[in-house]
């Protein structure tokens, strides 16, 4: 099993980009018991290292992605202890809360990716097209070099059967990173499957996934829904699209090319660009879904019926 799930190959620890946003009620101790070793070690790593990072990051409530290439914060692995001010039961409680948050946020990030890519959360169920989507997505998100060709025509099952070394052989510059991220997806899929087998303690996480399931059911997504999803994930997409006035439904596309690429990815339209996307937005004018605000500005639109 890879040691890269908690720590990405460049030495930076993997951390969910939205790690402090909300709290998820996941029963970690329960989930870890009896899990296959493969996935267990993955989450062990994730939990301990992310927890350390989160505690160190406190009290900052929000973790803005850094400017430039999206990278995770570096953890000083030599640092001892999670919260020096806390001891015994208090520290345990604190750790449990942090762990719940971390896992919840990891699952949310995956859920978002599932929605946007229209793929299932379980890599074992991916066809070759799904694999390429996931690769594109991960490369895009973590600014990795393109490796799609190296994994051409592989299904999710093929991918899951590959070792870290095989990933590296196929893609020397980012194979290990991709393998690490695939491990996270595998672990999340395992946990989802586990909680869907009637474990009432995991109701919170079931809620977490129900949204993803509804959008991973193959139902086509409308452009306005897609835009709204991006707007509702400011920690992930705030740099390319954001609310100017959420109450009035006014939003601005900050990076038109980026949003168009995401939409193209979602719809499997590689040739998508902002020109075409904006044409689709303008189709909404007649339908009364989106309009230009009263004071028209470039790249600024308004939902006729705000959230």
Structural tokens at position 80: 């001892």
- Nearest Cα neighbor of 15 from 74, 79, 61 is 74
Residue from 88, 145, 220, 288 in contact with DNA (CB under 7 A): 220
Residue from 296, 304, 306, 307 in contact with DNA (CB under 7 A): 296
The minimum distance between CB 230 and DNA, in angstroms, equals 14
Cβ proximity to DNA: between 25 and 257 the closer is 257
Structural tokens at position 223: 């452009």
Residue 237 as a binder of DNA (CB under 7 A): the answer is no
Residue from 200, 217, 298, 305 in contact with DNA (CB under 7 A): 298
Q: Under a CB-based contact definition with an 8 Å cutoff, are residues 243 and 250 in contact?
A: yes
Longest dimension (CA), the chain: 62
Residue 305 as a binder of DNA (CB under 7 A): the answer is no
User: How many residues make contact with DNA (CB under 7 A)?
Assistant: 28
Cβ proximity to DNA: between 33 and 271 the closer is 271
Is 181 exposed, middle or buried (CB count within 10 Å of its CB: 0-12, 13-18, 19+)?
A: buried
Which DSSP string do the residues of 32-73 spell out, in sequence order? HTT--HHHHHHHHHHHHHHHHHHHHHTT----PPPSSS--PP
String marking each residue 174-213 x if it binds DNA according to CB under 7 A: ----------------------------------------
Residue from 163, 282, 304, 306 in contact with DNA (CB under 7 A): 282
SS3 141: helix
Residue from 74, 239, 292, 302 in contact with DNA (CB under 7 A): 292
Residue 71 as a binder of DNA (CB under 7 A): the answer is no
From edge to edge, which strands make up the β-sheet containing 241-245?
A: 241-245, 250-253, 300-303, 290-291
Interface residue list for DNA (CB under 7 A)? 220, 222-224, 256-257, 263, 267, 269, 271-272, 274-280, 282-283, 285, 287, 292, 296-300
């Amino acid at each position: 099993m890879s040691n890269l799930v908690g720590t990405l190959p460049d030495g930076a620890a993997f951390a969910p980009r939205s790690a402090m946003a909300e709290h998820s009620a996941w029963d970690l101790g329960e989930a870890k018991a009896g899990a296959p070793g493969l996935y267990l070690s993955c989450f062990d790593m994730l939990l301990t290292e992310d927890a350390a990072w989160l505690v160190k990051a406190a009290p900052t409530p929000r973790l803005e992605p850094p400017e430039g290439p999206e990278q995770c914060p570096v953890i000083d692995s030599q640092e001892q202890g999670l919260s020096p001010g806390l001891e015994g039961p208090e520290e345990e409680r604190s750790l449990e809360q942090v762990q719940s948050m971390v896992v919840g946020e990891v699952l949310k990030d995956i859920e978002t990716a599932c929605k946007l890519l229209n793929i299932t959360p379980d890599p074992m169920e991916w066809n070759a097209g799904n694999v390429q989507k996931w690769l594109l997505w991960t490369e895009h998100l973590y600014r990795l070099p393109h490796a799609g060709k190296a994994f051409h025509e592989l299904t999710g099952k093929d991918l899951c059967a590959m070792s870290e070394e095989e990933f590296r052989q196929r893609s020397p510059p980012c194979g290990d990173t991709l393998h690490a991220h695939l491990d996270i997806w595998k672990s999340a899929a395992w946990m989802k499957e586990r909680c869907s087998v009637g474990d009432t303690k995991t109701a919170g996480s079931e809620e977490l996934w129900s949204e993803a399931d509804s959008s991973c059911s193959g139902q086509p997504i409308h452009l306005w829904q897609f835009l709204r999803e991006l707007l509702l994930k400011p920690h992930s997409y705030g740099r390319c699209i954001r609310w100017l006035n959420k109450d009035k439904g006014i939003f601005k596309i900050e990076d038109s090319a980026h949003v168009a690429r995401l939409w193209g990815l979602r719809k499997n339209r590689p040739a998508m660009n902002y020109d075409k996307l904006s044409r689709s937005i303008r189709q909404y004018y007649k339908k009364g879904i989106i309009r230009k605000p009263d004071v028209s500005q470039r790249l600024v639109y308004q939902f006729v019926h705000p959230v």
